[in-house]
Amino acid sequence: MSAIQKIKGFSDLFPEDSRSFTRMEAVARATFGRYGFGELRTPLLERTELFAKGIGEDTDVVGKEMYTFTDRGERSVTLRPEATAGVLRAAIEAGGIETGRAARYYTFGPMFRYERPQKGRLRQFHQINAELIGSPEPAADVEVILMLQDFLTSLGIADLSFELNSLGCRECRPAYRSALTSYFEALDAEKLCEDCRRRMHTNPLRVLDCKVPACKALVAGAPVISDHLCPGCRDNFAAVLALVDRAGLKYSVNPRLVRGLDYYQRTTFEVTSGAIGSQTAVAGGGRYDGLVQLLGGPDAPGVGFACGMERLAMLMQKPEAAQLDFFLAVTDTREGSGALAAALLLAHKLRSRGLSGECDYAAGSMKSRLRHAGRLNVRKCYILGAEEFDAGQVTVKDMEEGDQLRLDIAAFD
């Protein structure tokens, strides 16, 4: 009988991989905590309408990639494809959004999208998100960007490029959409992919985000949003850039930068790295004023970002396993001697003192036991053989110095 295998696009994270995720989470808690952000944990499963409303019906995420099904209560539910909508739903439901006060949340965990598995992005992938809800000020945008920079720097990630853009607002976006539609209609529509031939009428900004090479080539001559910003958005973006300049963050303005989700407006940003092959996005975000109200809450602004944890792990130096304090080897092989039970209790006593270690119950030579202890990089090896057990003692070998001595087991009580 063949063994059951994991589903395509899903992965197992063994200790050598999960250590990177654990470190990211620890650094995120420390960094975001300094900015006054608190951790919020939201469900993996939400009502489908939350994402259809929040992300946008015409996005690839909603149209093609969501894991959606009908539950036993005949409700349409979806495994979360992103975190922001769920965070806002939770904050609205709990009454955590107050006029004039900013709410600050961060979250991390698995997201689900049915798309072609690729390097650094699987069908179950993991994100770290941060959301600042309630402040319309350019300073809030910049604070979130600087917090993201602090987080990535604290992870030891270098070779990063920050790109910024403004996507306009509800006042100036319609004129830009109209200009884009006119531009695409003047092209040979057959040169666009099937999705973009539809998007050019329903949501032309999505054409700018298409990854099909032919579409990317045609987009090169499309109008840019910066030529269509209203005075308010133009002043807002200028204020954001002025603050970023004063903070000393190196960046470039990319007028073609759009995000793959419909809720973004005004400031948007992306962080890329060339350290894992082609220039690859590792984090991104922006402002989503209007989304809270769209989801049934007050008319509160918001800004945030998301980091792909798999891609960050590819950029990080892998953390080493923590050194164990002890390895306890049982070499008394006499049937019914009680050495195994004594070893279990001794290991428990050592751990109760705050020490970490492994107890080996399998048969094997002393040489192989010491070799295994060396691979574990333990500080001390405790050996419980027949002679030691009969004397109520244990041999303790210092793995660094090579010295060893016998101690009474009772001394550890």
Q: Which of 198, 194, 203 is nearest to 263 (CA)?
A: 203
As a residue count, the chain comes to: 413
- List b or e across 78-95, with b for residues whose CB sees 16 or more CB atoms inside 10 angstroms: bbbbbbbbbbbbbbbeee
* Sign of the Cα pseudo-torsion (224, 230, 231, 233, in order): negative
3-state secondary structure of 372: helix
Pairing type for strands 326-330 and 380-384 reads parallel
Its pTM stands at 0.85
3-state secondary structure of 18: helix
Sketch out the chain's domains with CATH numbers.
15-172+229-315 (3.30.930.10), 326-412 (3.40.50.800)
pLDDT in tens, the chain (413 residues): 788 888 888 888 888 888 999 999 999 999 999 999 999 999 999 999 998 887 776 677 777 788 899 999 999 999 999 999 999 999 999 887 876 678 999 999 999 999 887 776 788 999 999 999 999 999 999 999 999 999 999 998 878 889 999 988 888 888 888 888 888 777 766 677 777 777 777 777 777 777 777 777 777 778 888 888 889 999 999 999 999 999 999 999 988 887 666 678 899 999 988 776 655 788 999 999 988 988 988 889 999 999 999 989 888 888 887 788 888 888 887 777 788 888 888 889 989 989 998 888 766 667 777 777 777 788 888 888 888 888 888 888 888 888 888 888 888 87
Enumerate residues 6+ apart whose C-beta is below 8 A from 338: 389
- Report DSSP state, residue 72: T
Joined tokens for residue 369? 């036991």
228 close to 175: Cβ distance less than 8 angstroms: yes
Joined tokens for residue 399? 């793995």
317 close to 347: Cβ distance less than 8 angstroms: no
- List b or e across 277-314, with b for residues whose CB sees 16 or more CB atoms inside 10 angstroms: eeebbbbbbbbbbbbbeebebeebbbbbbbbbbbbbbb
Q: Which residue spans within 89-148 are E strands per DSSP?
A: 103-112, 124-133
Helices (H) and strands (E) in the chain — how many of each?
15, 16
H/E segment holding residue 312: helix 309-315
